[in-house]
Structure 1
Amino acid sequence: MMISEKKRLVIPLLGAPGIKLTGTTLKQNLIDPSIQFKTLYKILERFNPDGIFPFMDLTVEAEALGLKIDFPENENPSVREHPIKDREALAELKRKWNGISGRMKVFIKVCEMMVKEFDRIKGGYVIGPFTLAGELMGVNDLGINVLEEPEFVKEVVEFTTKVILEYAKVLFETGIDVVAVLEPTAVILSPQLFKEFSMKYFKYLSSEIKRPLIYHICGNTKHLIEDMGKSGAWGLSLDSAVDLKWASEIVPSKVNLIGNLDPVGVFLQGSPEMVYERTWKLLERMKDVENFILSSGCDIPVGTPLENIDAFMQAAKNF
């Protein structure tokens, strides 16, 4: 991976806001690799970050497993139903799983094009095993079953880990540098349950793939940070609720800390002046932390003014 030790890396989680640059819809980008690549190309041209990821989409693996998806034109798609309520349904799903399918192929193609054309850090995304279990079972049922039917939940998570491992390996085969594992649902877990139902499977992915993985959990993950730092992750992508300076004192220095300007309160709703000021403040606070990569706390929303992303990049450049 191309990482300069002298330069502070700036890699905002862009994608969706770029549809304004190509006059396309979010849906078009999520179903057509050539449209998505064109948008990513325009994003690089305008903002020039040090790294780029495809569009973030938490329904790709669920859809590949046969779940029905609601797919609006300019909002994130969502899973319509959560069919895995018992072992019988899980056994049926396992029987039907037939390897890389559906829109996984869209994102594999996008990664191939990125590797061919882009001269900077290139990443991919997979959903996290526990979060995919939540898509299959429904998050409420998942939360209840973690306590009432833990063995059943483990069976589901073991299966989702297998699916994700298969997909992540193919993404890496395209030549990308890093894969972010998106595990937002893990934020509901206590530290003990987190180790048992999320981190154990992340560590397994890491040991099997032996390539750089980023652990991304949205929201307030202060109760999980210490364990996340021991997960074998190359980097932790943390949301704006976490004080990154505090995290840097807990997480080993060999693990990169990635974040964490508020994607909604700052990027989407702020003015360019506010974005610039908050970015500067974060850089100032983290200036002595060598394992810090400047980014957004999560995916930057679709309606974000492009001028706000300009201001973010400008602050980073000027700092």
Structure 2
Amino acid sequence: MERNMRTWLEELKNAPVKKTMPILSFPAVQLLGISVNELISDSDRQAKGMQLVAEHTDAAAAVSLMDLSVEAECFGSQIRVSDSEVPTVVGRIVHDEEEARALEVPKVGSARSGLYVDAIRKATELITDRPVFAGAIGPFSLAARLLDVTEIMVECYDEPDMVHLVMEKATAFLVEYCKAYKEAGANGIVLAEPVTGLLSPALAEEFSAPYVKGLVEAVQDDNFIIIYHNCGNNTIQMIDSILDTGAAAYHFGNAIDMAKMMEHIPADTIAMGNVDPAGEFCNGTPESIRTATLQVMEACCGYPNFVISSGCDIPPRSKWENIDAFFAAVKEFYESGK
């Protein structure tokens, strides 16, 4: 359903009681009674899962799977799939500059990318009461999966030309992938760039921000926005280059102090975060997640542009009683009049 997303952001920012927007998708496997492998392999199940999550929660938006293996698989990477965990990339496919030059930019629709776009098309028909966001990996995080996450840290220094070459190809694919989601009816993308959070601010400014900015400029408009996500522990130090990407909103992980991050966010820009997805949603209790959620809100809700969220993607086996306790804590905070 087409909607003005700039208006949606403004209304969210100005609302005295803000709906939360956790990155909540994979726990749909429990509502559907299926495995993660079954979910990632079927567009109908993905769309139905998003619908069930939307019906179960009063979230500000519906968010599709944050499966950061999809794009790398399109380039030829091997992935490891299980019944209970999010898929992961195995090994590297680019070892040197020659292989970087030979690397072909895949077509959208290759591997599982077409299935994921189709899932969003179906989800937008099922969910009409809130925006629907697709998920995509960021350019540097994709390049890191093609080059190996550890090796790319070294090669940014030793082989910068090769890294930039892979970045260019990764970005070219991601632009077309985001355009396909846009055509399918998505209202925007949650763009996950977590590996950038491991870089120094100078390297992030060179190897990530310009490519994210190029992607944003290619696809973002009033009806389709990018929410930039980075759950690294260096995000506060690199916030200037992150903001320079021009994304419409930002989402940060629990590795940082969210209140300190909010000091750096422009008043007209929404930032979201950052209750621990593994420690609280997956392994916590209703009591502990209530405490953690209220602590973040008490520290950050003095900023009108703050929206409470999970720190990252909520794991598939996170207990729904914990997820429900998170939403209950958000309601409790606002009803208390704090």
Kept in 1, the 8 Å contact 2:254–2:311? The answer is yes
The 5 A counterparts of 1:193-232 are 193-211=203-221, 212-220=225-233, 221-232=235-246
Output the CA distance in 2 between the equivalents of 1:76 and 1:264: 13
Q: Using the TM superposition, give the Cα deviation of residue 296 of structure 1 relative to its aligned residue in structure 2, in angstroms.
A: 0.1
State the partner residue of 1:111: 120
State the partner residue of 2:111: 102
- Decide which moves more: 229-238 or 292-301: 229-238
Query: Does structure 1 residue 133 correspond to structure 2 residue 143?
Result: yes
Q: Using the TM superposition, give the Cα deviation of residue 245 of structure 1 relative to its aligned residue in structure 2, in angstroms.
A: 2.0
Counterpart pick for 2:301 among 281, 287, 291: 287
Kept in 1, the 8 Å contact 2:229–2:252? The answer is yes
Output the CA distance in 1 between the equivalents of 2:60 and 2:298: 19
Output the CA distance in 1 between the equivalents of 2:157 and 2:85: 33
Query: Does structure 1 residue 274 correspond to structure 2 residue 288?
Result: yes
State the partner residue of 1:41: 51
Match for 2:58: what amino acid? N
Q: Using the TM superposition, give the Cα deviation of residue 45 of structure 1 relative to its aligned residue in structure 2, in angstroms.
A: 1.8
Alpha-carbon distance change, 141 to 293 in structure 1, aligned in 2, over 3 angstroms: same
Output the CA distance in 2 between the equivalents of 1:44 and 1:206: 27
Q: For residues 185-238 of structure 1, what are the alpha-carbon distances to aligned partners after superposition, in whole Å with 9 as ceiling and x for unaligned?
A: 112211111010000101111111133211211131222223322321111110
What is the DSSP-based 3-state SS (H/G/I as helix, E as strand, rest coil) of the residue aligned with 1:294?
strand
The 5 A counterparts of 1:249-268 are 249-268=263-282
Match for 2:231: what amino acid? C
Query: Does structure 1 residue 54 correspond to structure 2 residue 64?
Result: yes
State the partner residue of 2:159: 149
Kept in 2, the 8 Å contact 1:100–1:166? The answer is no
Output the CA distance in 2 between the equivalents of 1:52 and 1:141: 35
Kept in 2, the 8 Å contact 1:233–1:255? The answer is no
What is the DSSP-based 3-state SS (H/G/I as helix, E as strand, rest coil) of the residue aligned with 1:208?
helix
What is the DSSP-based 3-state SS (H/G/I as helix, E as strand, rest coil) of the residue aligned with 1:16?
coil
Q: For residues 242-267 of structure 1, what are the alpha-carbon distances to aligned partners after superposition, in whole Å with 9 as ceiling and x for unaligned?
A: 22222122121222111110111221
What is the DSSP-based 3-state SS (H/G/I as helix, E as strand, rest coil) of the residue aligned with 1:215?
strand
Query: Does structure 1 residue 89 correspond to structure 2 residue 103?
Result: no
Alpha-carbon distance change, 315 to 204 in structure 1, aligned in 2, over 3 angstroms: same
Output the CA distance in 2 between the equivalents of 1:18 and 1:235: 25
What is the DSSP-based 3-state SS (H/G/I as helix, E as strand, rest coil) of the residue aligned with 1:187?
helix
What is the DSSP-based 3-state SS (H/G/I as helix, E as strand, rest coil) of the residue aligned with 1:201?
helix
Runs of 4+ with >6 A deviation = none
TM-score (norm 2): 0.90
Q: Using the TM superposition, give the Cα deviation of residue 175 of structure 1 relative to its aligned residue in structure 2, in angstroms.
A: 2.1
Kept in 1, the 8 Å contact 2:269–2:305? The answer is yes
Q: Using the TM superposition, give the Cα deviation of residue 276 of structure 1 relative to its aligned residue in structure 2, in angstroms.
A: 1.4
Q: Which runs of 5+ in 2 are unaligned?
A: none
What is the DSSP-based 3-state SS (H/G/I as helix, E as strand, rest coil) of the residue aligned with 2:49?
helix
Aligned residues: 318
Match for 2:188: what amino acid? V
Output the CA distance in 1 between the equivalents of 2:131 and 2:314: 18
Output the CA distance in 1 between the equivalents of 2:189 and 2:99: 30
Identical pairs, percent: 32
Match for 1:269: what amino acid? N
Kept in 1, the 8 Å contact 2:277–2:310? The answer is yes
What is the DSSP-based 3-state SS (H/G/I as helix, E as strand, rest coil) of the residue aligned with 1:295?
strand
The CA RMSD measured in Å over matched residues stands at 1.5
Match for 1:219: what amino acid? G
What is the DSSP-based 3-state SS (H/G/I as helix, E as strand, rest coil) of the residue aligned with 1:14?
coil
Q: Which runs of 5+ in 1 are unaligned?
A: none
